[in-house]
Amino acid sequence: ISDTTSLAVALGAMAGWHALIGIGEAVITVAALTFIANSRPDLLRFGQPSAATA
């Protein structure tokens, strides 16, 4: 480490930003899956696997 800041401060800041990024990714994923489920539900499989994949 370059000794610019303490490891605890750097890891805390990095963890905080990555948590926010993760929340943003979750929102984008839910929005995309909702759009696909509404427009092309045949592309998504819900429930039991089909006979072809079991």
Q: Give the pLDDT band of residue 46 (cuts 50, 70, 90).
A: confident
Can you give the pLDDT at residue 53? 59
Measure the CA angle with vertex 39, ends 30 and 33; round to 5°: 15
Above pLDDT 70, what percent of the chain? Answer: 83
C-alpha dihedral sign at 27, 24, 36, 52: negative
pLDDT in tens, 22-38: 999 999 999 999 999 99
Check residues 43 and 28 and name the one with the higher pLDDT: 28
Helix, strand, coil shares of the chain, percent, nearest 5, are: 65, 0, 35
The tokens of 4 are what? 């610019």
pLDDT over 90 percentage in the chain: 59
pTM as predicted: 0.67
